[in-house]
């Protein structure tokens, strides 16, 4: 049995006494299950709260809504953790949530050809502001506020209470003022990994490093999309992978029988990282093109050369700044598509992907429609993806399902 306690500086009495009052206009939404306490929802000041404080959320009328913690993150000031008045937010609470999350991933723990996936997905699994990924026995915790980071010891104690043997725990602190990664040694406990370690995803090998900056080498939320590319779309095709990072999509396409892949990313290190991913799968990287280049510059080059592709993957960051320009998915996706359409062969496939939570699927499809209209081309939609099942989301928090991927065919 596990009877862990919350280890923090404040006593429980001090914590549970605190109140956070939300405007009545927001109370209804929170009561329906919306878990994030937005800055705008606050009625009055939250100056009495510090990061990590637990509080009762009430409406201006004084109705009890739930219990939560204070943690500054993007547009939010904290997350509701429970709607039960007598629930204790303690080690037991953490362990229960983790256990449920692990049970829901039983199929992934059992899978022989997939060893990397998300074990715990923040509010989708009942605790907003923190995620845990599993990379072949290595765990990666990502903290999105100083508030949730105050519970580090409790969460790790809860992980240790799971029937899960792991090699080591690493972490990413993503809570500087802009929600960015805080550079650090990310090792927490266990036996340090000898990185890169190779994980598997539907039989594809990926090299990952959990202690090398903000990213690990693979974005686990695209698992089903990579499989679809390998199994259904790549065979015999000339593939262009833009914003290719470590070339994860290129590897999937190459394994799926692509005639050739071209990976384009502006980051210098993407070259070595992409070679590493190809090599991890025994693919001769020299048979593929890997270009360190601004994607927009590449479009110009490809058009001038009259290049055409049969499968183009577009998965830009939500926001990026290079020396020459700033890219924002919300503003620039349509133009990105127009440039893409120009170098897509007839009947070619475009995989349009975005992880921007600034717009929803409907709006995203609006960008696609506008881009085709403005280029006088037509298309049909073949299939769509959102987050995979291990990136669990809840219906009351649609913005948590940020991933939108549309496979379309240029007619
Ligand atoms: N599609 C990738 C993940 C992309 S991460 C995958 O699924 O693995 C975003 C990448 O975009 C980063 O590697 C960054 O270097 C690159 N990037 C940002 N702006 C760019 C630009 N203008 N041209 C090319 N690459 C860019």
Could you identify the atom of ligand 1 that is nearest to the CA of residue 248? 8
User: Both 320 and 364 in a single domain?
Assistant: yes
* Separation of CA 111 from chain center: 21
Residue 337 has pLDDT above 80, yes or no: yes
Does 197 have pLDDT greater than 60? Answer: yes
Confidence bin at 323 (pLDDT 50/70/90): confident
pLDDT at 391: 98
Domain stops at, among 201, 231, 255: 201
Instruction: Specify the residue with its C-alpha closest to ligand 1, atom 3.
Output: 245
Domain boundary among 48, 82, 116: 82
Answer yes or no: do 295 and 248 share one domain.
Answer: yes
Percentage, residues of the chain above pLDDT 70 = 96
- For the record, the structure tokens of 333 come out as 């996706």
Residue 214 lies in a domain: no
For residue 187, tell me if it sits in a domain: yes
207 located within any domain: no
Nearest Cα residue to atom 19 of ligand 1: 320
One domain for residues 394 and 246? yes
Going by pLDDT thresholds of 50, 70 and 90, the confidence category of residue 316 is very high
Q: How far is the CA of 312 from the centre of ligand 1 (A)?
A: 14
Q: The tokens of 211 are what?
A: 């202690």
Q: For the domain that residue 35 is a member of, what is the CATH number?
A: 2.30.130.10
Pocket test for ligand 1, best of 207, 222, 263, 266 (most atoms within 8 A of CB): 266
Q: What is the pLDDT of residues 268-282, one digit of tens each?
A: 999 999 999 999 999
354 & 337 share domain: yes
Question: Does residue 7 register a pLDDT over 60?
Answer: no
Residue 5 included in any domain: no
Mean pLDDT score of the chain, rounded to an integer? 94
Are 365 and 228 contained in the same domain?
yes
The atom of ligand 1 lying closest to the CA of 246 is: 8
If asked whether residues 280 and 250 sit together in one domain, one would say: yes
pLDDT tens by residue, 97-127: 999 999 999 999 999 999 999 999 999 999 9
Task: From the CA of 325, give the closest atom in ligand 1.
Answer: 22
Buried b (16+ CB within 10 A) or exposed e, 341-360: bebbeeebbbbbbbbbbebe
pTM of the model: 0.95
Contact 238, 258 (CB under 8 A): yes
Q: Is residue 35 part of a domain?
A: yes
Q: Is residue 1 part of a domain?
A: no
Do residue 63 and residue 111 come from a single domain? no
215-225: average pLDDT: 98
What is the distance, to the nearest Å, from the Cα of residue 21 to the centroid of all Cα atoms in its chain? 31
Statement: residue 331 has pLDDT above 90: yes
Query: Ligand 1: which of 272, 316, 353 to mutate, most ligand atoms within 8 Å of CB?
Result: 316
Question: What residues make up the domain containing 187?
Answer: 91-201
Q: What is the DSSP code string of 62-92?
A: --EEEEEEEEEETTEEEEEEES-TT---SHH
* Ligand 1 first shell, C-beta below 6 A: 219, 222, 243-246, 248-249, 264-267, 270, 294-296, 315, 317, 320, 322, 327
Helix (H, G, I), strand (E, B) or coil at 224: helix
Q: Can you give the pLDDT at residue 114? A: 98
| Minimal-distance CA residue to ligand 1 atom 22 | 294
Ligand 1 atom nearest to CA at 297: 23
Mean pLDDT value across residues 31-49: 94
Q: Which residue's C-alpha comes closest to atom 11 of ligand 1?
A: 243
> Residue 191 maps to which CATH number?
3.30.750.80
What pLDDT is stored for residue 10 in this prediction? 46
Percent of the chain, pLDDT > 90? 89
- Is 241 in the same domain as 381? yes
pLDDT band at 12 (very low <50, low <70, confident <90, very high): very low
CATH of the domain at 308: 3.40.50.150
Which of 82, 102, 132 is the endpoint of a domain?
A: 82
Q: Which of 248, 265, 273, 295 to mutate for ligand 1's pocket (most ligand atoms within 8 Å of CB)?
A: 265
Q: What is the 8-class DSSP label of residue 183?
A: P
Residue 177 confidence (pLDDT): 66
Whether pLDDT at 8 is above 90: no
Number of folded domains that form the chain: 3
**157 with 187, same domain?**
yes
Q: Check whether residue 166 and residue 35 sit in a common domain.
A: no
The CA 62 to ligand 1 mean position distance, Å, reads 48
Question: Does residue 212 sit within a domain?
Answer: no
117 and 250 housed in the same domain: no
In this structure, the answer to whether residues 163 and 238 fall within a common structural domain is: no
- Domain membership of residue 206 (yes or no) is no
């Amino acid at each position: 049995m596990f009877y862990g306690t919350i280890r923090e500086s404040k006593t429980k009495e001090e914590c549970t006494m605190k109140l956070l009052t939300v405007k009545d206009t927001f109370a209804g939404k929170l009561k329906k299950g919306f878990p994030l306490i937005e800055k705008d929802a606050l009625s009055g000041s939250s100056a009495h709260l510090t990061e990590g404080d637990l509080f009762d959320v009430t409406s201006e009328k004084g109705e009890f809504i739930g219990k939560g913690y204070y943690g500054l993150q993007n547009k939010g000031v904290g997350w509701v953790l429970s709607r039960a008045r007598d629930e204790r937010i303690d080690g037991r609470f953490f362990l229960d949530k983790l256990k449920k999350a692990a049970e829901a991933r039983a199929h992934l723990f059992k899978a022989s050809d997939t060893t990397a996936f998300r074990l715990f997905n923040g509010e989708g699994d009942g605790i907003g502001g923190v995620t845990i990924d599993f990379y072949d026995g290595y765990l990666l915790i990502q903290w999105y506020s100083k508030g949730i980071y105050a519970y580090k010891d409790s969460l790790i104690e809860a992980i240790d209470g799971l029937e899960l043997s792991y090699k080591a725990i690493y972490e990413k602190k993503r809570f500087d003022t802009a929600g960015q990664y805080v550079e650090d040694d990310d090792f927490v406990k266990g036996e340090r990994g000898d990185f890169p370690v190779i994980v598997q995803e539907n039989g594809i090998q990926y090299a990952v490093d959990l202690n090398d900056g903000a990213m690990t080498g693979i974005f686990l939320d695209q698992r089903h999309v990579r499989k679809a590319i390998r199994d259904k779309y790549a065979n015999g095709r000339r593939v262009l992978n833009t914003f290719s990072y470590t070339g994860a999509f290129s590897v999937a396409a190459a394994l799926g029988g692509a005639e050739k892949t071209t990976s384009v990313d502006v980051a210098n290190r993407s070259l070595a990282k992409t070679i590493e991913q190809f090599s991890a799968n025994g693919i001769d990287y020299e048979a593929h093109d890997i270009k360190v280049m601004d994607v927009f510059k590449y479009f110009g080059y490809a058009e001038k050369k009259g290049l055409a592709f049969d499968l183009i993957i577009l998965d830009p960051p939500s926001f990026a700044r290079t020396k020459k320009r700033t890219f924002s998915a919300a503003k620039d996706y349509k133009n990105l598509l127009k440039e893409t359409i120009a170098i897509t062969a007839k009947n070619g496939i475009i995989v349009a992907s975005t992880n921007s939570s600034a717009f929803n699927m409907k709006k995203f499809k609006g960008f696609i429609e506008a881009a085709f209209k403005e280029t006088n081309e037509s298309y049909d939609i073949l299939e769509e993806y959102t987050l995979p099942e291990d990136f669990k989301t809840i219906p009351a928090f649609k913005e948590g399902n940020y991933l939108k991927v549309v496979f379309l065919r240029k007619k």
